[in-house]
Chains A and B, each alone.
Chain A
Amino acid sequence: MPDIAFVKPALPRHGALVLPLAEGAETVLAGLAQAIDAATGGAVGKALAAAGFKGRKGQSTTIWAPALEGGAAGPSKLVALGLGKEVTVEAAEAAGGALLPLIAGEREAVIAAEALPPPVAASLAFGLLLRSYRFDRYRTTEKEEDKPKLERVAVATDAASAVKSAWAPLRAVADGVFFARDLVSEPPNVLNPGEFAERLQGLESHGLQVEVLGPKEMKKLGFGALLGVAQGSAEEPRMVVMQWNGATGGKAKKAAQKPVAFIGKGVTFDTGGISIKPAAGMEDMKFDMAGAAAVAGTMLALAGRRAKVDAVGLVGLVENMPSGSAQRPGDVVKTASGQTVEVINTDAEGRLVLADVIHYCQQRFAPRFMVDLATLTGAIIISLGHEHAGLFSNDDTLAQQLTAAGKSVSEALWRMPLGEAYDKQLKSDIADMKNVGGRPGGSITAAHFIQRFVDTKDGPMPWAHLDIAGTAWTTKDLPTVPKGATGFGVRLLDRLVAEHYEG
């Protein structure tokens, strides 16, 4: 991934020069754009006009090796990048993402951002950075020419300090996103629960408090559901509790202020267990820990930008394997809440893990709200596809806040219903509930299962569940997400906190 720097405007003598232009701005070039146009004797302006470049959203025109008058050294490539009529941070972010492949072949690039408001300039770089993510740890034979070349992107601006202060929090969020994407991309033989927990332990260097609980501790806490899922694997399960204490104010104020809580499903590989999955596509199940990765990434982002909030992130880390010691369909397990569950399908394991972790989270932290993230059901993909994650909530305010936050960071949510009739589908003949409610409304009944572990007996507990099975991984390049792990949830939760829960 390239370094991002902020520099005074000057025509580069090599590499790429990028001209981000709003619709209409291509007719009156200013700043570096005007400078390069003048240096080429007006050739740049003519070339843009000839190419029909209008600055429209998604539009770009590349001019190779523009000849400078007098044979002076100049950029080897010029890219005009359309920002559309309304130059918003969202538009800039998408344009920055779309820019990356256009300049990936250069070592250096200068973005002429003098005309852009500082937040827009920073967002352009942010989009580019997010798109430049690459997971190549396991490539050993890649040819030099196939590797990405872009090392440095300089944002040319006259307001460097303003752009930098807009940039700092975005950079922190990008680090959170990348941390999550790395975790999701890692193969399951490497990233087992123990390794996952160790990597989270490493976040202490960023100012997070991290506790790791092993099977012994969880047994003491009565985590029968989580441990039941883990019992078929040679890898020991973990629960990791991350805390970020960034809220401002005196001790008394801090004591009154409860933390916000994020809970993630971290099944490092999901074979389905005894209810084993079909072989086709099973390799995807390495990303069945994307909820936990998003929670970890969010915590890192909050710490990285010193967010003024107290937040806790809890993840349940297990591997779901079939073996001689594995959980069976028909088993009844006792959850930490005391409720019993008849395990009908061992492949509906995520909710069992979440049940114990959510209960623990509420008991220990009495948070302001709880949001859980999980690649929970195939049914949510059949319901919504890959453009929206499913949102289930017992609280309209929290649901609206999440939906709005998701919209503004291109991590869209779609609200799905809850209702007593769906909850009834979980009725068991032998225990308090079954772990599946049948095919009809499969994502809804999964949400209801989780909701049964959100305790509202002593007052409301705002809770939302994000089913991210369809959005954790992309098979197509998206504007700010290259093919692969998306890190879905990090930006969304960070934005939720920034908009509503800081200060």
Chain B
Amino acid sequence: MLKLRLRRAPREDDSPLVVPVAEGDAGRFPFAVAAGFVGAAGQVAEQPGPARRLILVGCGTPKRPLEWEEAGGHGLAAAGAVKRLALDARGLAPEAAAALAAGAALRAWRCEAYRAPGEKAPTHLDLVVDSPEAVLPRWARAEAAVRGCLLARELVAAPANLLTTREFVRRLEALAEHGITVDVLGRKRLRREGLGGLLAVGGGSASPPRLAVLRWRGSVAAPPIAFIGKGLCFDTGGISIKPAAGMEEMKADMAGAAACAGAMLALALRQSPAPAVAVLAIAENMTGAESYRPGDVLRMGNGRTVEVVDTDAEGRLVLADALHYAATHFRPQAMLDLATLTGAIVTALGAHRAGLFGTDAALLAQAAAAGEVVGERLWPMPIGARHREDLRSEIADLKQCATGRFLPDASHAAAFLREFAGAVPWAHLDIAGVDTLAEAAALGARGPSGFGARLLDMLVQMYFEDEERH
């Protein structure tokens, strides 16, 4: 992560200085006006000449922290391959200054672990502010969310031969240093719990399935909010194997679990008063002699039986067990699951919004609102009576998915999951279209987006930390 230093004035060196300029405020810089720079959001102008690089970045008419974050991201990108840059936040409110830096930090992240050092992205940021004392607590809060997001990105970026189920769990266990307790269920305990969905999906792999339970106690005596994550370290599709083209992207099929882990880290880093628990279903879906088959009937953690139709619809099976486990062991006040679940949601909403499903109107509205605040946008999608009917099985309590052409599979999956959420207010985020950025955006380079970590953290901050609530 970008190393940040708060300063009252820029360093006396040749590191570029990035100045955010609001729309209508560009008149101070004749060179920029001449170049057509008006301060529109995302617009960039650089002063020509040999002097220290001065980069103006337009922020439009920013009202929300997100817009400052985006300006910070654009500014970082405009600075290019430098080791250090300065962001001039003088004259800005402390919250805006912190958001500017957060945006820069999000945009600066690169996955560098697996290649020889090459062209350098910035590693050091000087945030120039009027009052470091005033900005520091704001930054601490913003930084927590950024670190959570970056943890999620690191995990998603990790290739599947390195991030095995065991390695994923090991990295989660390392979160204990931040005060998160981590409990990991191996095969023996999974059997005792009867989590037949997770055991079946993980059966074909040499890496064993795991259920990782992360807890943040918070300081409020209340039932926790629960995050449930799909953590398929790699998804070949199993016996219903996927086509070869694009299969490498399936290393990201654990992005839901990664986002939940990132959110937990953010809560811990900023010492959130809200108790939270993350239940992460971790497995690898491989073709093997012990793989589960289409036609198999599984007995799930809640005792229901499920007819497998397509072994590539494995995410809903592991989530179903994780939802049940969370609902029964923690009696949470709300559950949200995140999963790269269906191709159908990509067809429906593309790469700009995740699908939002659920049973509780208030929770759905809260999740959508939190998403808007952090720029991780959701769109409500239906679970209709017909979607549930389509899952009727001839042999078991329900089928895992429907068959035919043009299937609304995202809604089918949500209808399936609803059967396992019990009476707990529940929301399901299908993030299959948004886990990876195909091209750079204001708050991230090409690659894993970390979608969900900041959203969950913001959701808790906005709606679950009020002691009056309990």
Contact = CB atoms under 8 A, between A and B. Distances in A.
B351 A385 contact: no
Given A417-B379, A440-B433, A384 B408 contact: yes
A379 B409 CA distance: 11
Nearest to A425: B350
Given A386-B386, A414-B382, A417-B379, A422 B348 contact: no
B350 A384 contact: no
Interface string B353-389: 1000000000000000000000000010110111100
Contacts of A422: 350, 352
Contacts of B409: 382
Contacts of A281: 405
B344 interface: yes
Contacts of A440: 346-347, 349-351, 433
A80 to B, nearest CB: 25
B74 to A, nearest CB: 16
Given A381-B406, A382-B344, A443-B348, A417 B353 contact: yes
B385 to A, nearest CB: 7
Given A382-B406, A382-B408, A388 B382 contact: yes
A422 B387 CA distance: 27
A444 B377 CA distance: 15
B449 interface: no
Interface in B380-417: 381-382, 384-387, 390, 405-411
Contacts of B350: 421-422, 425, 440-442, 444-445
A386 B390 CA distance: 11
A384 B344 CA distance: 10
A496 B351 CA distance: 33
From A385, A386, A414, A439, name the one whose CB has the most chain B CB atoms within 10 angstroms.
A385
A387 B411 CA distance: 11
Nearest to A478: B386
Nearest to A443: B348
Contacts of A443: 348
Contacts of B407: 382, 385
B27 to A, nearest CB: 28
Contacts, number: 81
Contacts of A379: 347-348
A170 to B, nearest CB: 26
Nearest to B350: A441
A444 B345 CA distance: 12
Contacts of A417: 349, 352-353, 379
B346 to A, nearest CB: 5
Given A387-B384, A387-B385, A387-B386, A439 B346 contact: yes
Interface string A414-448: 10110101100100000000000001111111000
Interface string B432-452: 010000000000000000000
B358 to A, nearest CB: 15
Nearest to B378: A417
Interface string A287-306: 00000000000000000000
A378 B407 CA distance: 10
A383 interface: yes
A441 B349 contact: yes
B390 to A, nearest CB: 8
From B352, B382, B386, B410, name the one whose CB has the most chain A CB atoms within 10 angstroms.
B352
A385 B352 contact: no
A94 B349 CA distance: 33
B407 to A, nearest CB: 7
Contacts of A383: 344, 347-349, 381, 408, 410
A470 B408 CA distance: 10
B353 A442 contact: no
A417 to B, nearest CB: 5
B409 to A, nearest CB: 7
Contact of A382 (B347, B379, B385): B347
Contacts of A470: 406
A382 to B, nearest CB: 5
A418 to B, nearest CB: 10
Contacts of A439: 346-347
Interface in B216-257: none
28 contacts: A280-B405, A281-B405, A378-B406, A382-B347, A382-B408, A383-B344, A383-B349, A383-B410, A384-B408, A385-B384, A385-B387, A386-B386, A387-B385, A387-B386, A388-B382, A388-B384, A414-B381, A416-B348, A417-B349, A419-B353, A421-B350, A422-B350, A440-B346, A440-B349, A440-B433, A441-B346, A443-B348, A444-B349
In order of increasing CB-CB distance, the 5 nearest A-B pairs are: A441-B350, A383-B348, A440-B350, A385-B408, A381-B406
Interface of A: 280-281, 378-379, 381-388, 414, 416-417, 419, 421-422, 425, 439-445, 470
Given A441-B352, A443-B348, 9 more contacts: A382-B347, A383-B349, A385-B382, A385-B387, A387-B382, A416-B348, A425-B350, A440-B351, A470-B406
